[in-house]
Amino acid sequence: MSSNYASHLKHPVFKVVCKYIQEHDLEAYVIGGFVRDLLLEKQSKDIDIVVVGDGPRVAKEVAEILRIKSVSIFKNYGTAHFKYKDLDIEFVGARKESYESNSRKPYTEKGTLRDDQFRRDFTINALALDLRSESFGNIIDPFNGLEDLKKGVVRTPLEPEVTFSDDPLRMLRAIRFATRLNFKIEVKCLEAIQRQSARLEIISKERISDELNKIILTETPSRGFKLLNATHLLHQFFPEMIALQGIETINGKSHKDNFLHTLEVLDNLAANSENLWLRWAAILHDIAKPPTKRFDETVGWTFHGHEEIGARMVPKIFQRLKLPLDQKMKYVQKLVRLHLRPIALVKGSVSDSAIRRLLNEAGDDIEDLMLLCNADITSKNEFKVKKYKQNFELVSNKLRLVEEKDRIRNFQPPVSGDLIMTTFGIGPQAEIGIIKSQIKEAILEGIISNDYEDAVKEMIRIGNELGLSVKIAPDLKN
């Protein structure tokens, strides 16, 4: 790797900072992720600039030169941030840090560039590029971060015990970078993470989940989960997933390791979707297998009802991890509840009625459900997998055909409660719900078509059976 990267610093913000610090006799450096990604030939839209001096002041004046009106100042942290076109640019004054054992919030004081590099989490994130005109683009690498980039190693600039004890969130960040970049974590670091895993208790669940989501969104998230498990970090915040581990054998009959199966499903899904919450559905689809595990002498191991119990576990897990309890959680819950339904269709007969019911329950999430279920086919028997995949394609085609014909997705019965009351001259009462429910069943079973005229005729038939008589005949041309 080159020792000068001036040719890569052509963005106007670098030129403006260079000119500004020259006129004011200051030092400033690009540092951290932008430099790391630049050297790895990856794109980055986050630029961190360290100023030896008053970082926020430099940020404000550089923003004025760039004609940027909005600058966010964070006095407590000595940082300032602004957006320039598609870039996020942050300025910070170079500083030293010290920590108390019960908090990851540091006590800070002004320092040099070297002091600032010492406080960085990993050597690959401590690399800096000089913005002074006489040495513009020169790389400053006090901890052999360049060598670690070449070797693909995540390593701390200080002793790992110190780095991780100061800020335990760095343990999760180590795993995130190793997973995202496909790097190895230095053995000393791995051992230190395992020894200090319990220190994660001082980190908020929001920060933990933020790092976890970034791991889940990597190309091969299973790698991150295996590292989280091996270092005992996963044990600190996700006991339900730890409970999936292990194989039990009785009378020569074994079940698969559901932890490893879950990771395989997650990777399969990650190859086809970047949807974070769909990936969460993969993580949680079998989460209730441990509490539902039973051994039957005839059939072996069973996990009856794990999809329904798993769906009930989703809100509790989301709440504990401070994940959103809105439609995203309900989406995950729905997919966990329905994840066996397409598999059952693949194994058995594919009736129009079963397809209609699945379409009605899954609604607009049917494609995502099919992606999840396809990813759930993980048998080591290649012939079995091939057969399942072929049958799965048949189910997918059937779904398309039935949806085109019957328009069942998200459907409501074609007759309303108001129409029922007007037709039979009744007020609000239980019979209205009974009629609507039976019309819906008739449509799902294929007894009548999903259209207004058939539904009205069925409404009158059901009403008559319930002892109601037509007072005002409905317009069948509606």
Which two structure tokens, joined as six digits, stand for 242? 């730890």
| Pair 339, 373: CB distance under 8 Å | yes
DSSP string, 257-292: -HHHHHHHHHHHHHTT---HHHHHHHHHTTTTHHHH
Q: What CA–CA distance (Å, rounded) separates 22 from 135?
A: 11
Residue 123 pLDDT: 97
Residue 97 pLDDT: 63
Q: Does pLDDT of 152 surpass 70? A: yes
Q: How high does pLDDT run on average in the chain?
A: 90
Of 62-71, 190-199, 283-292, 343-352, which gets the smallest average pLDDT? 343-352
Q: What CA–CA distance (Å, rounded) separates 366 from 364?
A: 6
Residue 297 pLDDT: 86
Q: Does pLDDT of 298 surpass 90? A: no
H/E segment holding residue 31: strand 27-31
Residue 392 pLDDT: 76
| Pair 221, 188: CB distance under 8 Å | no
Topology of 153-237 in CATH?
Hydrophobic Seed Protein (1.10.110)
Q: What CA–CA distance (Å, rounded) separates 304 from 340?
A: 11
CA nearest neighbour of 283 among 332, 228, 236: 332
DSSP string, 179-216: HHHTPEEPHHHHHHHHHTGGGGGGS-HHHHHHHHHHHH
Residue 299 pLDDT: 87
In terms of phi and psi (left: phi > 0; alpha: psi -120 to 50; beta: otherwise), the region of 152 is left
Radius of gyration, alpha carbons of the chain = 30
Reported as a pLDDT band with limits 50, 70 and 90, residue 252 is: confident
Ordered alpha helix ranges (H), 24-144: 33-39, 55-65, 113-118
Reported as a pLDDT band with limits 50, 70 and 90, residue 106 is: low
Who wins on pLDDT, 287 or 253?
Answer: 287
Q: Does pLDDT of 65 surpass 70? A: yes
Secondary structure (3-state) at 71 = coil
Matching CATH topology for 6-151 and 153-237?
A: no
Return the domain boundaries, the chain.
6-151, 153-237, 417-465
Which two structure tokens, joined as six digits, stand for 468? 């109601």
Residue 85 pLDDT: 86
Q: Tokens 């990777």 — which residue? A: 267
Q: Which of the 8 DSSP states describes residue 299? A: T
H/E segment holding residue 32: none
Residue 350 pLDDT: 67
CA nearest neighbour of 53 among 25, 74, 75: 25
Who wins on pLDDT, 415 or 308?
Answer: 308
Q: How much is the average pLDDT of 360-374?
A: 89
Predicted model pTM: 0.85
In terms of phi and psi (left: phi > 0; alpha: psi -120 to 50; beta: otherwise), the region of 252 is left
Secondary structure (3-state) at 139 = strand
Topology of 6-151 in CATH?
Beta Polymerase; domain 2 (3.30.460)
Q: What CA–CA distance (Å, rounded) separates 87 from 46?
A: 6
Q: Does pLDDT of 67 surpass 60? A: yes
Residue 410 pLDDT: 63
At residue 142, what are phi and psi to the nearest 5 degrees? -75, -15
Secondary structure (3-state) at 232 = coil
